[in-house]
A and B are shown apart, each in its own frame.
Chain A
Amino acid sequence: MATEPNSNARKPFAMSRRQFLRYTAVGGSAAAFLAACAAPGVTPSTGAEAGAGEAAAPAAEGGGGTMVWMGHQEVAALSPDDTGPSVQYVLIANIHNPLVWSNEFNELEPMLAESYEVSDDGLTYTFKLRQGVKFHDGTELTAKDVKYTYDYYRNPDNAAVRIGDFGGIGSVETPDDYTVVVNMDEVNAASLVNWAGFGIVQSDYHAEVGEDTYKTAPIGTGAFKLKEWRAAEFTELEAFDDHFRGRPAIDIIRQDVVPEPSVRMIALQTGDADSSVWPLLVEDSLALKEDPNFTVFSTPGNSIKHFPLNNTLPQLSDKRVRQAMMYALDRQRIIDDLWSGAAQVANSNFPPTSFYARDDLKKYEFDPEKAKALLDEAGWIEGGDGVREKDGEKLTFTITTITGDQARRPIAELAQQMFAEVGIDVQLAEAPVASILEGMRNGTMDASLFNWTYTTNAVEPDPFSTLHSKGGNNFAQYSNPRMDELIEMGTQIVDPEERKKIYDEVQEIFVEDVPVLYLQFDEWLNPFSNRIQGLPVDPKTADEYYLRANEWTLAE
């Protein structure tokens, strides 16, 4: 995924974007579901639901036209298992529909499920499917397709990337053609956004051709079907006539692969493209915000831009040293000078949009004097060359940024100066993404710089994989028995209000221990040409608005 020297290099990390939105949906209302269980989302079967009102109408007019989106990297695969990268998600999710969709306003919207019920104990989910939903090959969607999809992707033998989303499922049953019952082995509050948000595949077809071929020629129920796929050049979708919500007004969606961000900007200005799924340079996005010909959606991210630090290094193992580094960083200046202000300072491991985020935590205001005092206290005394030392060991470490990551490397350079002010020596190096992922994971690298989440996402707070000592992505090699204990307790509790107490303490420990140097939550900016009509107003979550394409029309 790292690729054209510059922009590619950032891909892998920056993408966590999408996750955020999908989950913000359930937000604080996770309680609402589980408690109010039977909260059914009933939709009129006419095929035109509230928000989709206009969708059916334009179909008659047949407004047509081609809408062009741009991504920054190739669209490598098109199965519902490949939704990781944003540029793939927006296409895959237009080709497939899930049972329930967590939409751009973080609200759950029934899609293939007409209604759903969750049992009081949170262990049984019952979905009533819409009738008469057609796949692109003309066959009708039934419960067996849903069962097949869930059973296939949660089966470890099939090595699916999103297998983790299906955690806790015991069995999937189909009492009749339009009813799906999912039995859970354990409660999982994020289930509805996780697996219920997973696109349903045509089961006979998928079983026949296999996942690998399916990735190149998917058949879903979505408003658009795959027309032509040239991974490195463009992907073209065309309107599906028999879509259950009515045929989209726009005939064709084409997503071009344009690696260079300034070229994407120019293409928007010349009218050669209508939107950029992968953001432009921040300053270009901000310029388009002022341009009356464009609408720019700005939504907060849930991944923290941060320096992961290897906590096991002798010079970084003392939390006072890590706290001192937080005080030494002028984080607002980094945002203002290097990020055009399009971000906000992070004060917790949870994104500000999260139900669990606290804003009364210890804040690390820029204070070099405090930093020096903490370092003195920890026994790191300034040596002759201005670098602090203790027991003959110098306070120095290396930050390895992603090769060619011109957007974020300046942050490391500025931080290097800020650390030097308080007597900490930072070396800078570059390495490809793959090396950094492995080096941080195995603890052979000191520190890096990228975007990552220290929660599961904006909805689901469980930070097991990054903050538990046994977590697979514990890049900090962080180990705190109390943190482990809290994390383990947190997943056992169903009631969000009760869970909140656990995660309140998790955040307290996080800001006190500073396992990583957390900087900022970036804003995610997607520009749209005003040629597109019917855009949602003020969406809360990135990427999901692209799934409204079936309601849009193009002005000529």
Chain B
Amino acid sequence: MARYLTVRLFHGAIVIFLISILTFAIMRMMPGDPVYLLFGEGQVRISEEQMDAIREQWGLNEPLYIQYLVWAKNMLRGDFGDSLVRRGVPVRTMIFEAIPVTATLNVFALGLALLIAIPLGIAAGIRRNSPLDYATSVGSALGIATPNFWLGLMLIVIFSLYLGLVPPFGLRSWKGYILPVIVLATEQMAVLARVMRASTVEVMTEDYVRTANAKGLPRRTVILRHAVRNSLLPIITVIGFRIAFLLSGTIVVETVFAIPGIGRLFTDSVFRLDYQVVQSLVVLLAVLVVASNIVTDLVYAMVDPRIRIE
């Protein structure tokens, strides 16, 4: 177990190292100059020398490998550097302000999605080809196909503009969470319900379910004790994936509902070439994905006795 963990962690470190180099390279290869962006909006009279003075101050005149090493060294010490755009604000602060916002939304959304999708998926899986099953299939197809953007705006129009029940944007009160959570949950619910249904259908044909049925156990016991426990396994994988989405999957919802989360921070920073923010975020995301993969595997081993970690 300890050895397994060591190896996994070592591999993870290599992955993160490579990703940091790649991200750095991609950001610097993107055409454009953050200093030009600063002046992009008007007729600021400024000479090339004056622009160069700014680049110098921002450390953009150093050779690239030096810039990388400085950044990597600082990252290892937990110092993410300063934003080019929000001068005077450490990138660390920007990121750690945004993470809780996005994480809270996603946790609620995932909770809501699980609460509805699991029972629905099980029911549909057990009663195949019933009206409920069809409804679930159609519903989840719709849920996956509906663009978040459209759904979000429609909900705002109905519940905020017409009914006046919730604020149109922001998370100032708990009511502000309702619409974004519903939008985020819709898509996840659709995915989870399908996974749950498929997995239930499969498990119901397993020998041990037939055996349980054959020995005359009540149907309720068969389903809850034997079938469901096993059919939950794939859901764990899906949730593992969702953790990576915690950081990246909510850009549209954050834009529509004016939520200062990590998705918007990321896209904003890419467009305005805020190198430090993008690089730090990607590395952080990589760490998160690597960690959640390891954790997912460990959880698997705990839940499923057939899987052993050596």
Contacts and interface: CB of A to CB of B under 8 A. Distances in A.
Interface string A147-169: 00000000011010111110100
A114 interface: no
A13 interface: yes
A117 interface: no
Contacts of A465: 43, 45
The residue among B30, B42, B56 with the most chain A CB atoms within 10 A of its own CB is B42
Given A12-B37, A266-B157, A259 B264 contact: yes
Given A159-B50, A433-B40, A270 B31 contact: no
Chain B contact-residue range equals: 35 or more
Given A1-B272, A3-B272, A232-B265, A19 B42 contact: yes
B207 interface: no
14 contacts: A1-B271, A5-B267, A12-B37, A16-B41, A159-B57, A165-B45, A211-B87, A212-B87, A231-B260, A256-B258, A259-B255, A259-B264, A260-B153, A434-B32
A37 interface: no
Given A16-B41, A18-B42, A262-B153, 7 more contacts: A159-B50, A214-B88, A232-B268, A260-B255, A433-B37, A438-B33, A456-B45
B260 A257 contact: yes
Given A84-B42, A432-B32, A453-B42, A472 B37 contact: no
Interface of A: 1-5, 8-9, 11-16, 18-19, 73-74, 76-77, 84-85, 156-157, 159, 161-165, 167, 211-216, 230-234, 256-260, 262-263, 266-267, 269-270, 272, 403, 431-435, 437-439, 441, 453, 455-457, 464-466, 472-473
B42 to A, nearest CB: 4
A433 B153 CA distance: 27
Given A159-B50, A163-B50, A164-B46, A434 B30 contact: yes
B161 A19 contact: no
Among all A-B residue pairs, the 5 with the closest Cβ atoms: A434-B32, A164-B45, A2-B271, A212-B88, A12-B40
Contacts of B86: 74, 76-77, 231
B217 to A, nearest CB: 54
B90 to A, nearest CB: 10
Interface in B142-197: 153, 156-157, 160-161, 164, 167-170
Given A230-B260, A263-B153, A472-B47, A439 B31 contact: yes
Nearest to B268: A3
Interface string B264-276: 1101101111000
B48 interface: yes
Contact of B168 (A3, A213, A263, A439): A263
B39 interface: yes
A4 B255 contact: yes
B83 to A, nearest CB: 8
Contacts of A162: 44
A2 B169 CA distance: 21
B272 A272 contact: no
A215 B86 CA distance: 8
B170 A256 contact: yes
Contacts of B70: none
B50 A156 contact: yes
B264 A3 contact: yes
A12 B271 CA distance: 11
A267 B169 contact: yes
B53 interface: yes
A16 B43 contact: yes
A270 B153 CA distance: 14
Contact of B258 (A19, A76, A216, A259): A259
Nearest to B261: A232
B89 interface: yes
B88 A263 contact: no
A355 to B, nearest CB: 17
Contacts of B264: 3-4, 232, 259
B256 interface: yes
B30 to A, nearest CB: 7
B36 interface: yes
Contacts of B89: 216, 231
Nearest to B258: A258
A358 to B, nearest CB: 20
Given A434-B36, A435-B31, A437-B32, A84 B153 contact: no
B130 to A, nearest CB: 40
Contacts of B34: 434
A77 B88 contact: yes
Contacts of A164: 44-46, 50
Nearest to A464: B45
B201 to A, nearest CB: 39
A3 B266 CA distance: 9
A2 B267 CA distance: 9
B193 to A, nearest CB: 29
Nearest to A85: B41
A214 B57 CA distance: 17
A101 B224 CA distance: 74
